[in-house]
Amino acid sequence: MVRVGIDVGGTGIQVGVLDQKNRILAEESIPTNTSIPFSEQIHQLATCIFTAVASAGVKMDRVESVGAGIPGIANMSTGVIIKCPNMGWYHVPFRGELQKYFQVPILIDNDANVAALAESVAGVSAGTSSSVFITIGTGIGSGIILNGKIWSGFHGIGSELGHVILDLDGVPCSCGNHGCLERYCSATALIRMGREAVQNCPESLILKSVSGNPDRINARTVIDAAREKDPVAVEVYDRYIQYLSQAIANVVNLIDPEIIVLGGGVSKAGDFLLDAIRKTFPKYVLYDDQPMPDIRLAVLGPEAGIIGAAMLS
């Protein structure tokens, strides 16, 4: 038997067919097209799934479930996607529509939750009973795994670490509030901090590495300049590490998981990030003389989305 995992994203939808050992047998993708009716989008997705299953060399009756990770929230019991802004989906009957093509269980969960699940079954947190996955990209996503299961709260709206508020009068957030954690800990935040810093320090390596054009500064530009010990970049990076360490300490103070896994674009900084975080976060933890959770990098990469979605049950 095989399971299908779907990773819904703002630019494309990935589909994977996985065997019982969570190996990807085939992968297909379609570009996101929000300009056509929802039923038509689902028709294209169904066609993509049929193609993926065929290229995996299995018959449709061998598919035991279809799971989807979405950048939003869904009602798990009705299969209705409540809010998925990147796709323009509000209260759409995702399961109902897809069920017209597939008569197997269709599961839906948040994309950070499914990535957390994937890492906890087949990735770096495998074998642990409690883990928190934090993805550091354009925003901050997070997924909590307790006793092998996703915990997204009683109403399914929890584990949104990115929108924990750090500062009442802080930086405006896309959610409408001010001072959300992701405004300080995401790649977007690191870029903003880098651009602000070079305004007064045009001699910075950050600016030199983008030929003097601040619009071209990205998270990697800042991280690479900090690695080279450029004073401006080091200052920005150190401050960023303090914010991220506070975010991690908040998780420890609230949940105290066995392991915290970091994924997303910024995690590509590797040991440069890991060493700084491991050194810094304990000072923000209340019981800082007690054992701390292990901080590790995600190992499954972008495919965690389809792997975790296929694991939903």
Q: Looking at beta carbons only, is 167 or 228 nearer to Zn ion?
A: 167
Tokens representing 284 are: 């923000």
Distance CA 254, CA 45 (A): 39
Q: How many residues does the chain have?
A: 313
Binding to Zn ion (CB under 5 A) within 223-242 occurs at none
Q: Looking at beta carbons only, is 83 or 163 nearer to Zn ion?
A: 163
Which residue among 80, 175, 255, 297 contacts Zn ion (CB under 5 A)? 175
Residue 299 contacts Zn ion per CB under 5 A = no
Q: At closest approach, how far in Å is the CB of 180 from Zn ion?
A: 3
Site residue total, Zn ion (CB under 5 A): 5
Which residue among 46, 146, 173, 201 contacts Zn ion (CB under 5 A)? 173
Of 42-50, 132-140, 169-177, 296-304, the window that binds Zn ion (rule: CB under 5 A) is 169-177
Of 167-175, 191-199, 276-284, 285-293, the window that binds Zn ion (rule: CB under 5 A) is 167-175
Q: At closest approach, how far in Å is the CB of 29 from Zn ion?
A: 29
Distance CA 101, CA 93 (A): 14
3 state SS of 208: helix
Residue 163 contacts Zn ion per CB under 5 A = yes
Residues 147/295, Cβ–Cβ less than 8 Å = no
Residue 171 contacts Zn ion per CB under 5 A = no
Residue 180 contacts Zn ion per CB under 5 A = yes
Of 43-51, 141-149, 176-184, 197-205, the window that binds Zn ion (rule: CB under 5 A) is 176-184
Buried b (16+ CB within 10 A) or exposed e, 56-69: bebeeeebebbbbb
Q: At closest approach, how far in Å is the CB of 102 from Zn ion?
A: 35
Of 109-117, 173-181, 184-192, 277-285, the window that binds Zn ion (rule: CB under 5 A) is 173-181
Residues 280/143, Cβ–Cβ less than 8 Å = no
Buried b (16+ CB within 10 A) or exposed e, 89-126: beebebbebbbebbeeebbbbbbbbbbbbbbbbbbbbe
Q: Looking at beta carbons only, is 163 or 278 nearer to Zn ion?
A: 163
Q: At closest approach, how far in Å is the CB of 173 from Zn ion?
A: 3
Q: At closest approach, how far in Å is the CB of 76 from Zn ion?
A: 23
Q: Long-range contacts: 161-164, Cβ < 8 Å, 24+? A: 161/132, 161/134, 161/247, 161/250, 161/251, 162/186, 164/247, 164/250
Of 69-77, 120-128, 174-182, 274-282, the window that binds Zn ion (rule: CB under 5 A) is 174-182
Q: Looking at beta carbons only, is 105 or 179 nearer to Zn ion?
A: 179
Distance CA 200, CA 65 (A): 56
C-alpha 90, offset from chain centre: 21
Residue 104 contacts Zn ion per CB under 5 A = no
Residue 76 contacts Zn ion per CB under 5 A = no
As beta bridge partners, residue 4 has 17, 66
Residues found near Zn ion in the complex (CB under 5 A): 163, 173, 175, 177, 180
